[in-house]
A and B are shown apart, each in its own frame.
Chain A
Amino acid sequence: MVRDYNNRHALDQKLRGTPKPANADHLEVSHWQAIATVLAHAGLDAAVERALSSTPDLSLRYCGPGEWLVVSHVDTPVGLMRRLDMLCGTQAHVVDQSDGRVLLRLSGPSARTILAKGIGVDLHPAAFAHGGSTNVLCGHIAVNLMASGADVFELIVARSFAESLFDDLMAMGRQFDISSAFSE
């Protein structure tokens, strides 16, 4: 039997219907972006980090020693892979995760309070500074968290956990009347 392959976003089911206006606290689901994991070969952590951070439109998220998630909002997945291969071809393993991960952006004055319900890390700006990123556990789901603005956090989660994390975040933010939508 032949089936048509439809490229659907992992949260299509959750965000059906006409979009409602965004409230003060808003969960935005990024629709199209390129994500890749980069794992530096042994001993080449610093060289790979230098190569990656030399490019301003690549957003680097720390996962562990010598391991990063690279997010690009301007490249296609294929384009990002090509660029990363040129940047650190023989120094690192690069794996495309554009369809394997989902990026969620939580913004608003209560963003920290909402996240603190599920994350056991100090999110105060003095401890988790703007631009900082790390892998954390949100409830029972491992996510990569980044403080991408004063009151803006970006979470990257494995596709198969996206619906569950989305439900958790909406429950955590219900007290603050959180809204959600796909980004434009």
Chain B
Amino acid sequence: MASLITCPHCGVRPKEEFAIRGDASLVRPAPSASDEAWHDYVYVRANPRGRTVEHWHHVAGCRRFLVVERDTVTHEVYSVVDAAAAVRGAER
């Protein structure tokens, strides 16, 4: 697993300071969406080999949620951004 994460607020930190909160690429379905869509959103997860986008929580540091894009094979970290900033960027 990627062992050093460059937190946008705290700098380079060991992975022990973080809690991984799961896939960040999921999109919440509309409230009126079908039961199948909601079941998939809540329970069904891929176990990808390669590039993944995840929510990481910097529990022992700035306590912010981050979006980390990393590779599960090579352990390379491609990008780390604050989750709030990532949402703002996506809306723009």
**Partner among A122, A135, A137 whose Cβ is within 8 Å of the Cβ of B62:** A135
Contacts of B62 in A (CB 8 A): 63-65, 67, 135
Question: Which A100-146 residues have a C-beta within 8 angstroms of B?
Answer: 120-122, 134-137, 142
Q: When chains A and B are docked, how far (Å) is the Cα of A137 from the Cα of B61?
A: 8
**Partner among B9, B10, B59 whose Cβ is within 8 Å of the Cβ of A142:** B59
Contacts of A65 in B (CB 8 A): 9, 62, 64, 82
**Interface code B67-82, partner A: CB below 8 Å = 1, 0 otherwise?**
0000000000000001
Contact status B9-A64, CB under 8 Å: yes
Contact status B13-A64, CB under 8 Å: no
Q: In whole Å, how far is A64's beta carbon from the nearest beta carbon of chain B?
A: 3
With an 8 Å Cβ cutoff, the count of chain B residues facing the other chain is 16
Q: In whole Å, how far is B40's beta carbon from the nearest beta carbon of chain A?
A: 33
Q: When chains A and B are docked, how far (Å) is the Cα of A71 from the Cα of B21?
A: 33
A-B Cβ contacts below 8 A, count: 42
Q: In whole Å, how far is B62's beta carbon from the nearest beta carbon of chain A?
A: 3
Q: In whole Å, how far is A16's beta carbon from the nearest beta carbon of chain B?
A: 31
Q: When chains A and B are docked, how far (Å) is the Cα of A122 from the Cα of B11?
A: 10
- Whether B14 is near chain A, meaning CB under 8 Å from some CB there, is yes
Q: When chains A and B are docked, how far (Å) is the Cα of A121 from the Cα of B5?
A: 12
Q: When chains A and B are docked, how far (Å) is the Cα of A122 from the Cα of B10?
A: 12
Contacts of B13 in A (CB 8 A): 120-121, 136
Q: When chains A and B are docked, how far (Å) is the Cα of A137 from the Cα of B14?
A: 9
**Partner among A64, A67, A122, A137 whose Cβ is within 8 Å of the Cβ of B17:** A137
Closest to A137 in B: B60
Contacts of A134 in B (CB 8 A): 10-11, 61
Q: When chains A and B are docked, how far (Å) is the Cα of A174 from the Cα of B43?
A: 50
Q: B-side interface residues toward A, CB under 8 Å? A: 9-14, 16-17, 58-64, 82
Q: A-side interface residues toward B, CB under 8 Å? A: 63-65, 67, 120-122, 134-137, 142
**4 closest A-B pairs (Cβ-Cβ)?**
A64-B62, A120-B14, A137-B60, A142-B60
